[in-house]
Structure 1
Amino acid sequence: MLSLEEHQGTCPYCGEPITVLLDLSQGTHSYVEDCQVCCRPISISVTEEEDGSLSVSLHDENSTF
């Protein structure tokens, strides 16, 4: 069963607030999604913490994380 959740973030390129849809059933994962405002590719990392919570980070394509 898919478990989806919206996450509010900020585009690392244009600085505009954006909403990304996360698939919570995947645990720790990374993927690329284009910004809805400036259309540049954002690297999105979702990390499942030991307590089961998720942390989300958004980076430009040239960042190392």
Structure 2
Amino acid sequence: MTVYTLTGEKIKELRDESLSAGYYESYFTGEGLSSGIYLYKLNVISPSGIPVYTDIKKMIFLK
């Protein structure tokens, strides 16, 4: 999962590793960021390297 500004600048990569099936949580503190709207992108890739799912959502960050 990766966090971006609205202009597409990469802010933070929360997780970039292979995980087995299951439930996982990632925490984003937004340390050093201003309040505003950001985007987060989730990529799911199969063990064979084929993209299975990609989604981008907006997030409102308030301090």
Q: TM-score, normalised by structure 2?
A: 0.32
**Whose helix fraction is larger, Structure 1's or Structure 2's?**
1
**Whose strand fraction is larger, Structure 1's or Structure 2's?**
1
User: Which of the pair has the greater relative contact order for Cα pairs under 8 Å at 6+ separation?
Assistant: 2
